[in-house]
Every structure is written in structure tokens, then in C-alpha cells.
Structure 1
């Protein structure tokens, strides 16, 4: 199969869909790999690194799309790429369709095979291709939140870890999944007081078992959330509904109950956000303020640490990319039910029901 790795063109996205090590494995299996010139530079991988392992370098994105049977990316295609995608072409990347009807319609129109990293799902419900980026984003959420609590950037002026004689900052984490656990771990490491909330008691018991005593768990409901937002300095939105739009756990009216300078980091922004006032931002302009509450809603947080993120991503995506290249998407998905869950749009039809539900469309599935 001919595999293409284009350069990411989303604002401040420096990751790349495949490392040279990944390309080496593809070439070893007799596949042709085209890499767009400069695609890996942001992650510390140069054209010569790809050429050494057998990749062919093409100058333009259009050439990569035109010559490839499968495109391996990081982020969803944006408007400039829509017309480059061919009918029947496999596009293997993060899509997060439920947050964008425009993207969804464009991919329907393209009649491509859209396989979304974020919905590839194991039998136990875990998401192997989303997990490493969730780990990065969860850890970064505390790093960024701590920075934006500083007064010069309109935060409360709170040091998360406190100092002797001064209470530490208070962090509220919504969701005890991968993002939430990693955020709680980082916040706890800084010495902050952490409250982590979820509706899944099994997850809360797990957190209670592994975290130190200054991380406390509480069942998530509106009354409890309203109680805690008044006293916490940093709020992390880490709620995930697989392939679906995130629920609004914090509504616009709740902002007025928060102390001025409170910081919200909504990691769920890719799926529409779990805060009603969330709107996607970029690393170039990451924050905005509503009702004196600082919102950090960067839609590609791991893109700020591209070397770590790219290596972590290729580690988990490569085995599936190899299956697709070796067997074709139909055979690969028939034999691997985990990979089959990644099918979102196939030749013009939405085959993932949560996308249909997100836009309240009429079901197309039998």
C-alpha cells in the first residue's frame, strides 16, 4: 500500500503522523511511504531522517494526498485539505466528528474511509489510541492552569503548591478517566489540594486507592459541582463520552459563582467541551475571559510538546496502521474488532451512531 504522511497545518500543530521508526516498519513490510517535506521538523525529525529509513519526500501536501492510498495524520483535516481527499482513500487520524458538523459533512462528501483514533476501542472499553494524548493533555492541564493562575495573566494570583504558612491551591477535576487521573497526579505532586469527581464509583474507588490523602473523591452531580466551583482555584474539564459531544457540566450562570481569576482548563474542547462557555482556542492565543473567569481551551494541547506526543502516538497507532496497510481496511476491520470501532464514516455513510446523535440526524444504519 502507498502511505502518505502530510504536514499538519492546523494552527501551532507541530506533531507529525509517523516517526522515522514507524516509517522504517512500514517500508520493512514492503509499503511505499511518502512524507511531505518538513512534516516532522516541529517534532525534531528531519527529511534526511525519513529518507534514511526509506521514505520518499514530496514537496507539497497535494502530492502526498494524490499519490497515497492511506493518509496517516494527527489532527482532523481542515478546510484546505477537504478537496485533496479522494474517494475510497483511508484517512487515519483524530477526527472528533461530534464537535464539527462542517468537518463531518465534508468527509461524507469525500466518500473516504475515515478511521478515528479516538474511537478505536478495546473490549474492556479502553481507548488505546486516545490514551497517550489524554495522558499528555491531563498533565499539561495542570502545567498550563498553574501558569494562568498568575496575576499578570488575570488569574487569582495563587501558587498551586502554596508555601509554609499559606494554604495550597485547590484544584477541581471533573472526570476520573485518563485525563482526570493524570491531572490529579500532577496537581498532587505540586502539593495542591485536589477534588476529583465522577459518576463512576469504580473509577472513584481506584483514584481513592492510588492517590495520596490530599486528593479526595466525590460523586459528580450538579449540586456538588456548584458547591466546589466557589472554593476551587483551578477547574479541569476531563469528561469524555466516547465519540459523542461532551456534556455541559458547568453552565454560563455558574461562572458568576466563581471567584474572579478562577481558571478553567477544558481538555474536553475537542468534543465540544464540558463547560458551556468553552470555545476552541490555539497555542497562539490560548485564553479568553468571561465573567472574570479565565478559560484555557486549546484544542490540540499535546501539540505544544510535539516530540513527546509524536513518539507516544506512533507507539500505539503503528500496529493498527500496519494492519490497514497489510490487509486493506475491510479485512483488517473484519478481523480486529478493536480497530473496527474506529470506523466513523465509510464511503459517504456515517457508521458511528454517536455522530448521528450529536447532530440529531436521521440514522443511516440498518
Structure 2
């Protein structure tokens, strides 16, 4: 199969769809790999690295889309890429369709086949291709939150870990999934007081078992959320509903109950965010302030640590890429039900129920 790896053109997205090590494996299986010139530089991988393992370097993104049967990316195509996608072309990347009707309509119009990393499942229902980026984003949420609590950037002026004689900061985490667990680990490691809320008691029991005593669990409901936001300095939104829009757990009217200079990091922004006031920001302009509350809502957080993120992503995507390349998408999905759950759009039809529900469409849209 002819596989294309274009350069990511989303704002400050420095990751790349595959490492040279991943390309090496595809070449070993007799596939042809086209890499756009400088696609890997942001992650520390250079054209010479890809050429050394047998990739063909192409000068433009148009050349890569034109040559490839399968496109392997990190982030969803943006408007400039929509016309480049061809009928029957296979796209394998993060899409998060439920948060963008424009993107969804564009891919439907293209009559391509879109397999979304974020809805591929393991037999136990976990999301193997979303997990590593959720791990990165969860850990980064605390790094970024700690930074934006500093007074020069309009935060409360709180040091999360405190110092002798001064109480540590308080972190509220919404969701005890991968993002929440990783955020809690980082915050607890800094010495912060951590509260993590979820509706799944099994997850809360797990958190209680593995975390130190200064990480406290609670059941997630509106009453508890309203109570905790009044006293916490940093709120991390890490709620995920597979393939669907995130629920709005903090509404605009709740912001008035938060301390001026408190910080919200909404990791769920890719799925529309779990804070009503969320809108996607970029690494170039990452924050905005509403009612004196600092919002950090960067939609591609792991893009700020591209080497770590690209290697972690290739580790988990490569086995699926090999299946798709070796067998074609139809046979690969027929043999692997978990991969088949990644099918979101097929030849002009939206085949993922949660996306149809997000836009009020019939299943056969």
C-alpha cells in the first residue's frame, strides 16, 4: 500500500504521524511510504532519518495526498486540507468529529474512509490509541495549571505544592479516567491537595487504592461540583464519552463562585469541553479569562511535547497501521472488531452512532 505522512499544519502542532522506526516497519512489509519534507522536524526527526529507512520525501502536502492510498496523521484535517482528500482514500488520525460539524460534513463530502484513533477499542472497552495522548495531556494539565496560577499571568499567585508553613494549593479533577488519574499523580507528586470526582464507583475505589492519602475521592454531581469549585485553585476537566460531546459539568453561572485567579484546564476541549465557557485555544494564545477565572483550553496539548507524544503515539498506532496496510481496511476491520469501532465515516456515510446523535442526524446520514 502507498502510505502518506503529511506535515501537520494545525497551529503549533509539532507532532508527526509516524516515527522513522514506524516507517522502517512498513517498508519491511513492502509498503511504500511518502513523507512530506520537514514533517518530522518539530518532533526531532529529519528528512534524512526517514530516507535512511526507505521513505520517499515529497516536497508538498498536495504531493503526499495525491500519492497516498492511506494518510496517517496526528490531528484532523483542517480547512486547507479538505480539498486534498480523495474519494476512497483512507484517513487514520484523531478526528473528534462530534465537536465539529464542518469537519464532519467535509469528510462526508470527500467520500473517503475515516478511521478515528479515539474510537478504536480494546476488548475491555478501553481506548488504546487515545490512552497515550490522554496520559500526556493529563500530566501536562498540572504543569500548565501550575504555571497559570502564577500572578504575572493573572492567576491567584498560588504555588501548588506550598512550602513549610504555607498550605499547598487545591486541585479539583473532574473524571477518574486516564486523564484524571495522570493529573492526580502529577498534582499529588507536587504535594497539592487533590480531590477527584467521578460517577463510576469502581474508578473511585481504584483511585482510593493507588493514590496517597492527600488524594480524596468524591461522587460527581452538580451539588458536589458547586461546593468544591468554591475552594479549589485549579480545576482539571477530564471527562470523556467515547466519540460524543463532553457533558457540561461547570456552567457559566458557576464561575462567579470561584476565586478570582482560579484556573480551569479543560482537557476535554477536543470533544467540545466539559466547561460551558470552553472554546478551543492554541499554544500560541493558550488562555482567556471569563469572570476572573483563567481558562486554558488548548485543543492539542500533547503537541507542546512532540518528541514524547510522537513516540508514544507510534508505539500504539503502528500495529493497526500494519493491519490496514497489509489487509486493506475492509478485511482488517472485519477481522478486528476493535479496529472496526474506529470507522466513523465510510464513502459519504456517517457510521458512528454518537456522531449522528451529536448533530441530530439519522444513522444513515
TM range (shorter): over 0.9
Query: Which residue does 1:92 correspond to in 2?
Result: 92
What secondary structure is seen at the aligned counterpart in 2 of 1:345? Answer: strand
Is 2:32 the partner of 1:60? no
User: d(CA) in 1 for partners of 2:66 and 2:166?
Assistant: 61
What secondary structure is seen at the aligned counterpart in 1 of 2:84? Answer: coil
Once the two structures are superposed, residues 179-212 of structure 1 have per-residue CA deviations (whole angstroms, 9 ceiling, x without a partner) of 0000000000000000000000000000000000
Once the two structures are superposed, residues 121-151 of structure 1 have per-residue CA deviations (whole angstroms, 9 ceiling, x without a partner) of 1121100000000000000000000000000
Runs of at least 4 residues off by over 3 Å: none
User: d(CA) in 2 for partners of 1:123 and 1:59?
Assistant: 40
Matches within 5 A, 1:4-19: 4-19=4-19
Is 2:234 the partner of 1:257? no
Query: Which residue does 1:363 correspond to in 2?
Result: 363
Pairwise CA distance, 1:364: 1.0
Matches within 5 A, 1:321-332: 321-332=321-332
What secondary structure is seen at the aligned counterpart in 1 of 2:280? Answer: coil
Pairwise CA distance, 1:33: 0.1
User: d(CA) in 1 for partners of 2:123 and 2:326?
Assistant: 23
Query: Which residue does 1:268 correspond to in 2?
Result: 268
User: d(CA) in 2 for partners of 1:289 and 1:5?
Assistant: 37
Query: Which residue does 2:107 correspond to in 1?
Result: 107
Pairwise CA distance, 1:363: 2.0
Give ranges in structure 2 of 5+ residues lacking alignment. none
Matches within 5 A, 1:170-249: 170-249=170-249
Query: Which residue does 1:130 correspond to in 2?
Result: 130
User: d(CA) in 1 for partners of 2:41 and 2:60?
Assistant: 15
Once the two structures are superposed, residues 90-133 of structure 1 have per-residue CA deviations (whole angstroms, 9 ceiling, x without a partner) of 00000000000000000000000000000001121100000000
What secondary structure is seen at the aligned counterpart in 1 of 2:16? Answer: coil
Query: Which residue does 2:351 correspond to in 1?
Result: 351
Pairwise CA distance, 1:362: 1.9
Query: Which residue does 1:166 correspond to in 2?
Result: 166
Query: Which residue does 2:155 correspond to in 1?
Result: 155
Pairwise CA distance, 1:312: 0.1
User: d(CA) in 2 for partners of 1:114 and 1:71?
Assistant: 10
User: d(CA) in 2 for partners of 1:111 and 1:122?
Assistant: 27
Query: Which residue does 2:49 correspond to in 1?
Result: 49
Once the two structures are superposed, residues 56-90 of structure 1 have per-residue CA deviations (whole angstroms, 9 ceiling, x without a partner) of 00000000000100000000000000000000000
Query: Which residue does 2:22 correspond to in 1?
Result: 22
Query: Which residue does 2:314 correspond to in 1?
Result: 314
User: d(CA) in 2 for partners of 1:182 and 1:125?
Assistant: 19
What secondary structure is seen at the aligned counterpart in 2 of 1:195? Answer: strand
User: d(CA) in 1 for partners of 2:337 and 2:212?
Assistant: 37
User: d(CA) in 2 for partners of 1:172 and 1:125?
Assistant: 26
User: d(CA) in 1 for partners of 2:51 and 2:126?
Assistant: 35
User: d(CA) in 2 for partners of 1:347 and 1:123?
Assistant: 27
User: d(CA) in 1 for partners of 2:360 and 2:184?
Assistant: 35
Query: Which residue does 1:298 correspond to in 2?
Result: 298
Aligned positions, number: 365
What secondary structure is seen at the aligned counterpart in 2 of 1:83? Answer: helix
Give ranges in structure 1 of 5+ residues lacking alignment. none
What secondary structure is seen at the aligned counterpart in 2 of 1:338? Answer: helix
